Amino acid sequence: MHKLLPRAILGLLLLFLAGFGTVRKTVGCSPVQETVARESAITKSRDSVSAASQAALKSLEASLASASKIAGVASESNVYETLESLRLVLELEPKGRHRFVLPRASNAAKFNAEQFKKALEAEWAGIKSAIQSLCEAVQQEIETADAKQDWELGYRLRWQLAGLNAILPVVVDPKRARNEPWSHAKALHTVSEGRKAFTNHPKTRWPANSYTVMTTTHFEIASQSDMKSTVEVASLSEQAFAVWKQVFYSAWAGKQTTAPEYAEPVDHKFSVVLFRDQASYRKALQSIADISISTGYYDPNEKIAFFYWDGAKTPSTLVHELTHQFFNEASANPVALDPNRGKGFWVVEGVALYMESLSTRGCGGSLMVDVGGWDAPRLQAGRYRRLHDKYWVPWDEFHWADGKRFREEEDIRAWYSQATGLAHLWLDGSAERRVAFAAYIESVYANKESTALLGKLDEDKALRDAYDRYLIEGPSAMGSRPFFSNRREAVLSRTKLSAQQLLDWPIEFRTTPWLDLSFSQIDDRLFVDADEQPRGWNLQRVNLESTKVTDASIPAIARSKNLSELDLSNCNVSDIGIQALTGHKSLKTLWLTGCKVTDASIAVLLSIPQLESVHLAKTSVTPVGWSKLLAAKPRLKSKSTAP
């Protein structure tokens, strides 16, 4: 059966320009760093921190279990969500994604920390001491890392301590923390009010007084947009930089790092231009090829990232362009990449697309930030392309492609999907994989692309097999809970998740608008068990094709008030189950291909007021039943499949 790529996913696949103007060539030095040994030391020394976080998680378990039972009751869901945030932050270093905890901007931090404490009233003493022990463990690890001159670990831990310290009001021994944020973390506090520009903008030619200039520790943002969105962009830019510096430490630190304060990677401010809307963005940049199909653009010659305010879509575009900017302007090694002729161009885009996964969630006075993870929208699109469409560009062709080849590719979206997926494969993988990948990125930016750095994955079959395994097993094998901010879809088709694993996830998951579990191993427990809890499922689009779902699940699924599309193709579903859909108010599309339905279900289909598409191939519905349906609902004809 042929089905189109889900619309929700397609909508996210916006095209991005590579953002390279004319060629800039400099001589690069060797990108390879002796990071493998360092990384294994990191893994080893984390034992006491992970013991402390495990202990803290354990102390939370009982509270969470009882809170989740009553979380369907509105007045209790605040406690549940607070505890769930705490659980996510205490996971500290979950598998299969990168998690960071950053202090919030100071004005909001205090208020949020107090609110957090209030929500946790009953558990306060236990939680306070758990976080306190965790902070002490991290502090000790910092000392150990410094003694070993393991600057990368020391750097990440300092961020972690700053974030953990800020979660609750005054948790840590004040003598130790002195309530002063770590100097790097202070950058998150510097977002100012902004001021009207005194001069015409040199690049966009905006007249003086017609736009705002907002300055933070690392950014200068020229904005046509309103103050609220400009502040949001400024905060997010600092957060993105804080995260980039931790994920790609070796890229900017090189070998010159000095502890304990750490030098900043740049001595200039990153320049960002925020247009009011797409029309003004296109107009101002019209001389650049393909600008009309882009949502953001980084110009490495001017050293400016351009983009426009686009509501909820803004953060991913911003982070994408900033990632290009950070690698170009903050790398320790000179950037020598020829944007047209340089090999390995996929990784330049892949890593920016990977960083688009960045999402945030409040946790008291701190902000959790996740990057990577199986639930990243672009990875989910990539998973669909690979597992459903079987799309694969052979590795030799893919990594050898230069920017020109990449941009000229007809199916550029599919290439972007593969670039995203492969970036996730390496960056969300083991420590060794991440280190190898960091070295590979450096080799590409130095214009000396070397897949030899990627070890045994530098071979088409080995890579494709590893990629498929990662896509299929990733969501279940990683064991980490999904993050669920800025996520509207969960494409888990063909993965190995069980109904129980999905039920154990945060109950927010049950309101994911778009859920694709087709060809997975889930069964009726997923819906029947959830239905017995205060918060059952509330989905808009759900695909259960070729699963073990039967009639027993349909009443629970039908309780989703906004359900608009339901795919039960090739499930063991009969007229009995279909009864539960009688009169469903929002259902528009129903796939029953290969189900055991007969003419007895025609009355149910007629009772669904908004139904506009129904698929009855390989069912026992007769031509008479089909004619009866079309006679009463003629609009079904164009979008449906006859029995």
Nearer to Zn ion, 155 or 398 (CB): 398
* CA pair distance 643, 630, nearest whole angstrom: 12
- Shortest CB 424 distance to Zn ion, Å: 16
279 CB-side CA count, 13 A: 0
Q: Which stretch binds Zn ion (CB under 5 A): 11-19, 251-259, 477-485, 490-498?
A: 11-19
Q: Compute CA distances 283 → 210, 277, 288, 315, 551, whole Å.
A: 17, 10, 10, 22, 55
Nearer to Zn ion, 344 or 594 (CB): 344
**Under a CB-based contact definition with an 8 Å cutoff, are residues 337 and 450 in contact?**
no
Pairing type for strands 195-196 and 212-215 reads antiparallel
Q: Which stretch binds Zn ion (CB under 5 A): 9-17, 27-35, 184-192, 406-414?
A: 9-17
- Shortest CB 303 distance to Zn ion, Å: 15
Bond from prior residue into 534 cis (ω within 30 degrees of 0): no
Nearer to Zn ion, 168 or 351 (CB): 351
Q: Which stretch binds Zn ion (CB under 5 A): 14-22, 270-278, 502-510, 613-621?
A: 14-22
How many chain residues interact with Zn ion (CB under 5 A)?
Answer: 3
DSSP 8-state code for residue 574: B
* CA pair distance 279, 281, nearest whole angstrom: 5
- Shortest CB 20 distance to Zn ion, Å: 9
Nearer to Zn ion, 16 or 306 (CB): 16
- Shortest CB 296 distance to Zn ion, Å: 8
Nearer to Zn ion, 159 or 326 (CB): 326
Nearer to Zn ion, 348 or 621 (CB): 348
SS3 content of the chain, % helix, strand, coil (to 5): 50, 10, 40
The reply to whether 352 sits near Zn ion by the rule CB under 5 A is yes
Nearer to Zn ion, 163 or 350 (CB): 350
Nearer to Zn ion, 444 or 573 (CB): 444
User: Measuring CA to CA, which residue among 511, 503, 482, 533 is closest to residue 73?
Assistant: 533
- Shortest CB 297 distance to Zn ion, Å: 9
- Shortest CB 367 distance to Zn ion, Å: 25
- Shortest CB 643 distance to Zn ion, Å: 47
- Shortest CB 288 distance to Zn ion, Å: 13
For 455-490, give the DSSP string. GGG-SHHHHHHHHHHHHHHHHHHT-PPP--SS--EE
- Shortest CB 346 distance to Zn ion, Å: 11
* CA pair distance 627, 606, nearest whole angstrom: 12
Nearer to Zn ion, 403 or 474 (CB): 403
The reply to whether 419 sits near Zn ion by the rule CB under 5 A is no
Nearer to Zn ion, 261 or 290 (CB): 290
- Shortest CB 18 distance to Zn ion, Å: 5
Nearer to Zn ion, 143 or 290 (CB): 290
Beta bridge partners of 567: 543, 591
- Shortest CB 203 distance to Zn ion, Å: 19
Closest CB to Zn ion belongs to which residue? 16
Q: Which residue has the tokens 């369907």?
A: 72
* CA pair distance 318, 518, nearest whole angstrom: 33
Nearer to Zn ion, 320 or 361 (CB): 320
* CA pair distance 442, 426, nearest whole angstrom: 14
- Shortest CB 400 distance to Zn ion, Å: 19
**Under a CB-based contact definition with an 8 Å cutoff, are residues 328 and 247 in contact?**
no
102-121 binders of Zn ion (CB under 5 A): none
Q: Which stretch binds Zn ion (CB under 5 A): 10-18, 200-208, 360-368, 478-486?
A: 10-18
What strands lie across the sheet with 195-196, from one edge to the other? 195-196, 212-215, 219-223, 270-275, 304-308, 296-299
What x-and-dash track marks residues 330-349 binding Zn ion by CB under 5 A?
-------------------x
Instruction: Say whether 400 sits in a helix, a strand or coil.
Output: helix
**Count of beta carbons in the 10 Å neighbourhood of residue 245:** 22
What x-and-dash track marks residues 456-495 binding Zn ion by CB under 5 A?
----------------------------------------
- Shortest CB 614 distance to Zn ion, Å: 41
* CA pair distance 118, 103, nearest whole angstrom: 19
* CA pair distance 263, 631, nearest whole angstrom: 75
Q: Which residue has the tokens 């579990």?
A: 517
Nearer to Zn ion, 264 or 338 (CB): 338
User: Measuring CA to CA, which residue among 249, 134, 130 is closest to residue 184?
Assistant: 249
Buried b (16+ CB within 10 A) or exposed e, 184-208: bbebbbbbeebeebeeebeebebee
The reply to whether 552 sits near Zn ion by the rule CB under 5 A is no
- Shortest CB 403 distance to Zn ion, Å: 10
User: Measuring CA to CA, which residue among 400, 408, 389 is closest to residue 342?
Assistant: 400
* CA pair distance 552, 573, nearest whole angstrom: 9
Among 16, 80, 155, 437, binds Zn ion (CB under 5 A): 16
Nearer to Zn ion, 421 or 482 (CB): 421
Alpha helices in 478-537, H assignment, sequence order: 499-504, 525-531
* CA pair distance 11, 295, nearest whole angstrom: 13
Beta bridge partners of 370: 99, 359
> Which residues contact Zn ion (rule: CB under 5 A)?
16, 349, 352
